[in-house]
Amino acid sequence: MTHSRLQHIVPGALILALAIIVAWLSFTQEPADSFLFPRVVSSVFVALALWNFARAALGYAKVGRGISIETAKNVLPGVAVILIYAFWAAKGLGFYTASTITFFVLYSLYDPAPLGSVKDWLKRAIVTVLFMLVMYGLFSLLLQVQTPRGINF
């Protein structure tokens, strides 16, 4: 097996494993009605991850040369923020509070606008509020699913 093929198989296998774990968790949690939406989404993720892994294993995924060290360094802060969100903040602070903070931090990390500009900080705040209004409308009003509870709703 060539090195270039492995750089597609290994991430594909990791993503598939993660998708299976998330699906398993969504199918084993109670009350069942609260996890209907996560079950649907995680099932789709498993199907897509399986397709991605199969393409990599069969040698059909030939695009790209893997992730460079420079790209990994750029992505690492965002991954750290997402891990904190997923494993602590969403449950500890509540879904909407943690999501607001996480979105604002990620947006600030990757926004190319200067950090010293008050106008750009205002733009980040407005976009964050609008994003959270859409999230609230999607989950609470449209889908009517229970979101993780925490300190602040």
- What does the alpha-carbon distance between residue 72 and residue 66 come to, in Å, rounded to a whole number? 10
Instruction: Please say if the pLDDT value at position 124 is more than 70.
Output: yes
Instruction: Please say if the pLDDT value at position 81 is more than 90.
Output: yes
Residue ranges making up the domain that contains 44: 1-66
- 1 and 58 part of one domain: yes
Instruction: Please say if the pLDDT value at position 76 is more than 70.
Output: yes
Q: Read off the pLDDT of each residue in 7-28 and give the average, rounded to a whole number.
A: 88
Q: Read off the pLDDT of each residue in 119-127 and give the average, rounded to a whole number.
A: 96
- 78 and 147 part of one domain: yes
Q: Do 90 and 148 meet the contact criterion of CB atoms below 8 Å apart?
A: yes
Contact residues for 115 (Cβ-Cβ < 8 A; gap 6+) = 108
- Of 24-28, 67-71, 100-104, the range with the highest mean pLDDT is 100-104
Kindly indicate the confidence band of residue 109, based on its pLDDT and cuts at 50, 70 and 90.
very high
The alpha helices in the chain, defined as continuous H runs, are 3-28, 36-57, 69-84, 90-93, 95-110, 118-136
Q: Read off the pLDDT of each residue in 66-71 and give the average, rounded to a whole number.
A: 78
- 6 and 55 part of one domain: yes
- 72 and 61 part of one domain: no
Query: Who has greater pLDDT, 49 or 92?
Result: 49
Q: What is the pTM of this model?
A: 0.65
Query: Who has greater pLDDT, 65 or 132?
Result: 132
- 85 and 150 part of one domain: yes
